[in-house]
Chain A
Amino acid sequence: MSGSEKPQERAKSKKKVNLNRVPMPKQEPEERIHNFNEVARGYTFEMAVEEARRCLNCKKRNCERGCPVSIDIPEFIAAIQKGDLEVAASVLKRKTSLPGICGRVCPQEVQCEKACTLSKKKAPVAIGRLERYVADWERLHNMTTIPERGAPTGKRVAVVGSGPAGLTVAADLAILGHEVTMFEALHVAGGVLAYGIPEFRLPKEIVQQEVEYVKNLGVELLPDTVIGINFSIDELLNTRYDALFLGTGAGLPMFLGVPGEDLNMVYSANEFLTRTNLMKAYLYPEYATPIKMGRKVTVIGGGNVAMDAARCAVRLGADSVTVVYRRSRQEMPARLEEIENAEEEGIVFFFLATPIAMLSDGRANVAALECIRMALTEPDESGRRRPVPIEGSEFIIETDTVIVSLGTSPNPLIASTTPDLKTSRWGTVVVDEKGRTSKARVWAGGDIISGGATVISAMGEARRAASAMHEYLTSGSKKIIPPSA
């Protein structure tokens, strides 16, 4: 079907291609630092069509291969070129149940857009922005359609965790006709999409609408249920479920382990973001959870979570926000776009330094960070330059609020209550190339296997596990898969 359309499309796009992408309308920095509204406002219809027309609809389809869930990118963009947004939406939905989320938080610059043919010339097609546009159009026009579900298979699947991985597995398996129950420990579904990523980057209304979409596929959501406490994995497998997916993420915050880190006003990024995003402390007292923050905020770390925490602190009214990172700007793991947003919002970066102690004001509150300057070594075998402290270079940063954002590790609750589940020394669950764990009938994906990556990689791993689970569930004989070594 799409084959017959292609030559025509290519003929149309023969005209000269604009090498620059249509800019994304954004809230100006001086405006947005005072609110939690979304920074990027999204394309208009005209902008979307104009940007879509930059797509050469080339034969290579590198973009599709660059996508962890293999979205038919040229096809959905071709539909936008024709103004047929309904078709564009249905093309997206074939491969992702969460386009509104992916369009916003995927690191497209290292995935689909990096592979785009135009990126060799200049700016690649803004695939993420187009994905977002289509998802928003579908949502705002109440055009969301529920795909037809496969015939009921009679098989039941338990999905543990309702973050990006859990939502993807649940949706995939529900569409294939399995009966899915998704367990969530918190009172709100969405995992890191709900508690971690701030409103101004990913509006919670969009997360909840995409959760609703998954529920409308027939997935049962049980919030306030902690697997490992209310039910063990074995209880679930022995009483009701044929297969189980672990997508519990990496929720355990890491700390520096320096003296004084337990002082008051020292937060983990998880606590700071959970109070702000999940509990909506920025709307206190309408929402009952407060957040206490001083005037001079210091964030430790250089990832996306550090950027999120720093930008939340700006919006909560900090006078100054400083990010301390032990490597240089070039090595920062955060997306360039987020670093630039943070810089525009007045956040100051202190590179090549790390705290060695947190000092008290005498009343158990943090008053300063004692830091040491770092130098980068020559790249090691992994290609990364390792930071090493420069002796005698200690200095003091005055601060009254510290947010530690060094990453997270998997919550040990499930591993500790499931003795036959193999984990690594970092606490991650060990899986084979199909996402299968060492425990029969249990698959896993997302941060619980990677220790901390992106929303889309979690979705990719979830998709892989879902197809392996489907294969197992429909393989006829109910043989128990032997645990992989």
Chain B
Amino acid sequence: MFPIIAKEELGPSVFRLRVRAPLIAAKAQPGQFLIVVLDEKGERVPFTLSDWDAEGGTVDFVFLVVGPTTEKMARLQVGDTIAHCVGPLGRPSHVDTFGHVVCLVSGYGIAAMVPVLRALKGKDNQITTIVQAPDKKRLFGLEALKEWSDKVLVATSDNGNGKGPLASDQLRHLLAEHPNQPIHRVVAMCSLCLMWVVTELTRPLRIPTFLHMTPIMVDGTGMCGACRLQVEGTNRFACVHGPEFDGHKIGSWDVLLARRCSYADENVLQQSYSCRTCSQW
């Protein structure tokens, strides 16, 4: 059993849980995830680790309430337990000294990117973070982004006149200055359609673009193949080969978008955090 040590409501329907899971905390790396099973009848749900304390033996993750499982999870309180947690799964995000790194985040990615930002900062990168949210009310975690970024650009629909820029608009402005103000790498942890847009924007400029893919998973250890995607024409599993992939090598985006939504009718109750340009969240 995995006891909940702390719980915080970050915004409407956005929560952070801190769970005691020493085995996961001991090996966690930026960009990795854990799988949570709430109770013996629960489903296996992956969440990117948003923080951990190897010595204290705790891990943090952030979730949006989108379906029955996350709704149930939102009702848990400090002292309650989660039946199963397994991780850290997936490969760590590739971190090195790249130069100027532009990071794009939305939804759960706003919190999940923080360990990656921290690691990138630790390697002396210059970081510009673009954060997208439906509106200011549902923008959370800005402080942590600011702490580890040199510059944070906010993309919400209510930037003054109700028609704020999209994250892709913000990225376009930055790319327009490239290569005079060079961008050496783009890392995105946001809605799938935004990641697709980002990939197509950077492709002609050949800026390395790495995406944290979040397809539907079942076991999370390479067993079921639910999370497969086409990378350079071959099957890759997000859970064991990813979740970070070179965006320019990913194929069949239309299938990925459809797959991400394939269980939406069964399991998604509300989509208030959905992407502003499609129905993704």
Which of A166-174, A222-230, A335-343 lies at the binding interface? A222-230
Q: Are B44 and A271 in contact (CB under 8 A)?
A: no
Q: Are A262 and B43 in contact (CB under 8 A)?
A: no
Known: A226-B86, A252-B223, A413-B222. A262 touches B258 (CB 8 A): no
Q: Which partner residue on chain B sits nearest A232 by CB separation?
A: B27
Chain B contact residues: over half helix, strand or loop, or mixed? mixed
B143 at the interface (CB under 8 A from A): no
Q: Are A364 and B223 in contact (CB under 8 A)?
A: no
Q: Are A264 and B259 in contact (CB under 8 A)?
A: yes
B1-40: contact bitstring with A at CB < 8 Å (1 yes, 0 no)? 0000000000000000000000110110000000001100
Which of A90-98, A272-280, A298-306 lies at the binding interface? A272-280
A440 at the interface (CB under 8 A from B): no
Within 8 A of A (CB), among B191-241: 218-219, 221-226, 228-230, 235, 240
Q: Are A229 and B259 in contact (CB under 8 A)?
A: no
Cα–Cα, bound, A226→B83 (Å):
16
Q: Which partner residue on chain A sits nearest B221 by CB separation?
A: A185
Find A288's partner among B23, B42, B87, B258 (CB 8 Å cutoff).
B42
Cα–Cα, bound, A320→B165 (Å):
50
Q: Which partner residue on chain B sits nearest A187 by CB separation?
A: B84
Q: Are A187 and B86 in contact (CB under 8 A)?
A: yes
A186 at the interface (CB under 8 A from B): yes
Cα–Cα, bound, A190→B226 (Å):
21
Within 8 A of A (CB), among B224-281: 224-226, 228-230, 235, 240, 252, 254-255, 257-259, 262-263, 266-267
B88 at the interface (CB under 8 A from A): yes
CB B65 to nearest CB in A, in angstroms, measures 15
Find B254's partner among A187, A286, A290, A364 (CB 8 Å cutoff).
A364
B163 at the interface (CB under 8 A from A): no
Find A274's partner among B85, B88, B223 (CB 8 Å cutoff).
B223
Q: Are A226 and B89 in contact (CB under 8 A)?
A: yes
Q: Are A268 and B225 in contact (CB under 8 A)?
A: yes
A27 at the interface (CB under 8 A from B): no
Size class of the contact patch on chain A:
35 or more
Q: Are B258 and A264 in contact (CB under 8 A)?
A: yes
Q: Which partner residue on chain A sits nearest B41 by CB separation?
A: A287
Chain A contact residues: over half helix, strand or loop, or mixed? loop
- Please, which residues of chain B bring their CB within 8 A of the CB of A264? 255, 258-259, 262
A285 at the interface (CB under 8 A from B): yes
Cα–Cα, bound, A257→B234 (Å):
8
Known: A226-B86, A262-B230, A279-B43. A363 touches B258 (CB 8 A): yes
- Please, which residues of chain B bring their CB within 8 A of the CB of A292? 262-263, 266
Q: Which partner residue on chain B sits nearest A252 by CB separation?
A: B222
Q: Are A364 and B240 in contact (CB under 8 A)?
A: no
- Please, which residues of chain B bring their CB within 8 A of the CB of A187? 37, 44, 83-84, 86
- Please, which residues of chain B bring their CB within 8 A of the CB of A261? 235
A255 at the interface (CB under 8 A from B): yes
- Please, which residues of chain A bring their CB within 8 A of the CB of B68? 285, 288
- Please, which residues of chain A bring their CB within 8 A of the CB of B38? 288
A195 at the interface (CB under 8 A from B): yes
Q: Which partner residue on chain B sits nearest A185 by CB separation?
A: B221
Q: Which partner residue on chain A sits nearest B26 by CB separation?
A: A230
B69 at the interface (CB under 8 A from A): yes
CB B254 to nearest CB in A, in angstroms, measures 5
CB A418 to nearest CB in B, in angstroms, measures 16
A37 at the interface (CB under 8 A from B): no
A289 at the interface (CB under 8 A from B): yes
CB B56 to nearest CB in A, in angstroms, measures 17
- Please, which residues of chain B bring their CB within 8 A of the CB of A270? 223-225
- Please, which residues of chain A bring their CB within 8 A of the CB of B43? 279, 287-289
| Chain B residues in the interface with A (C-beta under 8 A) | 23-24, 26-27, 37-38, 41-44, 68-69, 83-89, 218-219, 221-226, 228-230, 235, 240, 252, 254-255, 257-259, 262-263, 266-267
| Chain A residues in the interface with B (C-beta under 8 A) | 185-187, 195, 223-226, 229-230, 251-253, 255, 257, 261-265, 267-268, 270-271, 274-275, 279-280, 285-290, 292, 363-365, 411-413
8 smallest A-B Cβ distances: which pairs?
A364-B258, A271-B224, A268-B225, A187-B84, A288-B43, A289-B43, A251-B223, A224-B86
